[in-house]
């Protein structure tokens, strides 16, 4: 299992790139396709650069001192040292919904935030498992990977909308014919969204795996995920948090609004908790 999720992520991103090339070809012009890609890259890398500030602001997280939260600092410091990364900045959000997230463009600019709710329902061992998962996101450069996937996905959607509103040239010059235009306008953005969400889910699996290895305690993370999944269905999400930020958190804060098994899972930012727990149990067996 180890390493498979990383390979899967880059295969999915390659698939997004291939889809972008197909859409550009279907619309009959490389110039517009290139422009769309450049614009999307600029926008998303700006978001990538300021991702930590944006996430901290929207979740209303506040910096806390070691005197205020000695146990939290102790756990984060131990995990950071084990993972050979700098000590991240530590925040606490007043959100009552139990959750946590890490952000930052690299380990030197990392921040970890936990909500008031998560500190109330998890014991130290479970909290350590969650924080190992979050630090793994930073170590795995998931903000960068997510930005790349978002840039390509946005480019595909931009091209399709541009063609819809401003025309697509001579249909006879389109090598894929009418189907190519339907694909470019309707199916390609849908496929891009599905692949982009699959990239996000793959990174969650990877962070579960890396975090379990870092903490040497997969059972603790599995136990925490069960608690967080149940709580996410009961405690409302603050209005300041938007669905576009759901991928940041260890569990989808909007989980209570989605059916457990439905087509909506294709667009979910997180894998099903049952699947994550099953993988963690397999990791436990492999670690012995």
Q: Which two tokens stand for residue 161?
A: 């909308």
Name the residue with tokens 């909308």: 161
> What is the Cα–Cα distance from 111 to 55, expressed in whole angstroms?
10
Beta-strand pair 111-115/89-93: parallel
DSSP per-residue codes, 158-183: HHHHHHHHH--S-GGG-TTHHHHHHI
> What is the Cα–Cα distance from 122 to 208, expressed in whole angstroms?
17
Report the catalytic residues. Answer: 134
For residue 103, the cross-strand partners are 111
Please check whether residue 199 is in contact with residue 146, taking contact to mean a CB–CB distance below 8 angstroms.
yes
Residue 192 φ then ψ, to 5°: -60, -40
**Alpha carbon separation from 195 to 203, 248, 267, 275, 276 (Å, rounded):** 12, 17, 9, 19, 19
Secondary structure class of 237 (helix, strand, coil): coil
Q: Which two tokens stand for residue 108?
A: 């030197």
Three-state DSSP string of 57-98:
HHCCEEECCCCCCHHHHHHHHHHHHHCCCCCCEEEEECCCCC
């Amino acid at each position: 299992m180890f390493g498979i999720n990383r390979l899967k992520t880059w295969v999915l991103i390659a698939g997004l790139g291939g889809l972008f090339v197909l859409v550009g070809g279907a619309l009959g012009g490389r110039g517009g396709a290139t422009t769309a890609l450049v614009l999307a890259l600029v926008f998303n890398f700006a978001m990538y650069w300021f991702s930590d500030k944006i996430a901290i602001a929207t979740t209303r997280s506040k910096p806390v001192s070691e005197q205020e939260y000695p146990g939290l600092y102790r756990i984060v410091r131990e995990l950071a040292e084990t993972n050979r990364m700098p000590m991240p900045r530590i925040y606490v959000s007043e959100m009552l919904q139990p959750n946590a997230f890490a952000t930052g463009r690299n380990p030197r600019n990392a921040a970890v935030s936990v909500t008031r709710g998560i500190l109330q329902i998890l014991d130290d061992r479970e909290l350590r498992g969650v924080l190992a998962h979050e630090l793994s996101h930073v170590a795995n450069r998931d903000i960068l990977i997510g930005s790349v996937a978002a840039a390509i996905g946005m480019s595909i959607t931009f091209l399709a909308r541009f063609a819809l509103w401003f025309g697509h040239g001579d249909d006879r010059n389109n090598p894929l014919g009418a189907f190519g235009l339907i694909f470019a306008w309707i199916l390609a953005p849908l496929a891009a969204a599905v692949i982009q969400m699959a990239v996000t889910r793959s990174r969650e699996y990877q962070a579960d795996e890396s975090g379990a290895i870092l903490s040497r305690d997969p059972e603790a993370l599995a136990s925490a995920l069960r608690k967080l999944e149940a709580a996410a269905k009961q405690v409302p999400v603050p209005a300041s948090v938007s669905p576009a930020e759901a991928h940041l958190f260890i569990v989808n804060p909007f989980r209570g609004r989605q059916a457990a098994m439905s087509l909506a899972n294709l667009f979910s930012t997180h894998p099903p908790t049952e699947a994550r727990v099953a993988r963690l149990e397999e990791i436990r067996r492999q670690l012995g």
